Amino acid sequence: MDSIRVGDYVFDHIRGNFVGVVTDFSIGEAIVWNADQHGNTVRATKEGFSSVEVSVRLTGTPSQHTVMVAGHRFGVGMNYTLRVGGNAIITRVSGLREVG
């Protein structure tokens, strides 16, 4: 993850389409969910892995709950595999907002 930089281009990993440009990012511990000895789901970390939060500025056509970018619909809660700074990362959209 240390190869992600502000200004990096973001591409759809499957189609190769340009999605946008990294405007900010932060790297943290990997978060996984496991069952404890009582069958409860508990949060844990995964050694040797990281999580990353990436902010991307993109140009698209908004609709009520999604944005269409390069023929692909992006929406909050949806998962995508993207290429960012030489990394292929599985992402989940946590928010969309219009900027001027």
Provide the residue count of the chain. Answer: 100
Question: What tokens were used for 16?
Answer: 């190769």
Sequence-separated (6 or more) residues with CB below 8 Å from residue 94: 53, 76
> Pseudo-torsion of CA 86, 87, 91, 96, nearest 10°?
-30
* 12 neighbors 72 (Cβ within 8 angstroms): yes
Q: For every one of its 100 residues, what pLDDT tens digit does the chain have, with 9 covering 90 and above?
A: 568 999 999 999 988 899 999 999 998 888 888 999 999 999 888 888 888 899 999 999 988 889 998 888 899 999 999 999 888 988 889 988 888 7
